[in-house]
Structure 1
Amino acid sequence: MTVLEATRSNRNAIAAAQKASVVRSGAGYRAEQGSDYQPGVSTETVGSQSLWLGMITLPAGQRTRAHVHECHETALYMLSGDEMELWSGDQLQHRDTVRPGDYIFIPANMLHVAVNRSAQSAVFIGSRNEATAQESVVLRPEMDRKVP
């Protein structure tokens, strides 16, 4: 079964059920940009039309690749870890330090890189207004060297 067929099947099952859905923790995946995603609410899990909600982990000593999400806004809450750096802007010129308890908002089409220099994984609850696992990520490899 293709992802599209599974998505259609899921939507039909949700529509037929006419009730709320509970999603149990399941298998995650490594996103193109380098962070680990564990979707809870998505097109694939519950037939969501416009919302993705899940956990995002950036392992200790890792960073994401420079990228933008062309079609969606992202909201994050840092659940655990040490501190993490968030670089953003058209030249990645802005550096923010993020700690547990902090919220992050990343507008659509905003270039950014997350860097976890600590010895602990950084764990986030994340939400975006694009429901599919195959989000609108565009890698910008020419910008990766901008972040030390």
Structure 2
Amino acid sequence: MSDANNARHAQQVAAVRPGKEISTLQRLPYFIGVSAGTVGARGLSMHLVVIPPGARANPHLHEGYETAIYVLQGRVETRYGEGLDRSVVSEAGEFLFIPPGVPHEAINLSDTEPARAIVARNDANEQERTVPYPPPA
């Protein structure tokens, strides 16, 4: 078989059925979907994140890659920028874009309902370059 045929044959469509949640540096429950580890993705990851009622992510930033978020359920405040002094609120049905290197934290604004969102990044191993951001004093 030629190299071109081998390459085509190695590429396969893959279904991912997320099972258990994992803990992340951000301290939020993630359900892993598409990534380098699950399907061999090379430049993309996509996961489900759940922010429990009243919970917040640890402040952090992502080195060298963009993040896009689509809120499925709830209202989430994202504090961002140096000192986390800026803020945007996203609701179900809305998208949010976070550029590379921007410090941020997500906060579920409900004390009774979880918030759920799909998180996509242009890095198949995004947790490898998630960096803690010291919260402002």
Q: Same fold (TM over 0.5)?
A: yes
**TM-score normalized by the length of structure 1:** 0.80
Deviations 1:21-43 (A, max 9, x none): 11122222111111111111101
Q: Does 1:116 align with 2:116?
A: no
Query: How big is the alpha-carbon RMSD for the aligned residues of Structure 1 and Structure 2?
Result: 1.8
**TM-score normalized by the length of structure 2:** 0.86
Q: 1: distance between equivalents of 2:8 and 2:56?
A: 39
Deviations 1:47-76 (A, max 9, x none): 111100110111111111111111211000
- Greater strand content: 2
Q: How far 1:137 sits from its partner (Å)?
A: 1.0
Q: Which of the residues 43, 46, 53 maps onto 1:50?
A: 43
Q: Does 1:72 align with 2:74?
A: no
Q: Which amino acid aligns with 1:75?
A: A
Q: How far 1:15 sits from its partner (Å)?
A: 7.3
Q: Secondary structure at the match of 2:127?
A: coil
Q: 2: distance between equivalents of 1:15 and 1:27?
A: 31
Q: How far 1:18 sits from its partner (Å)?
A: 3.6
Q: 2: distance between equivalents of 1:19 and 1:140?
A: 38
| Alignment gaps of 5+ in structure 2 | 1-6
Structure 1 runs, 4 residues or longer, greater than 2 Å off: 14-19
Q: Which of the residues 21, 25, 39 maps onto 2:14?
A: 21
| Alignment gaps of 5+ in structure 1 | 1-13
Q: Does 1:86 align with 2:61?
A: no
Q: How many residues align?
A: 130
Q: 2: distance between equivalents of 1:95 and 1:133?
A: 23
Q: 2: distance between equivalents of 1:57 and 1:129?
A: 20
Does the CA-based 8 Å contact 1:59-1:116 persist in structure 2? yes
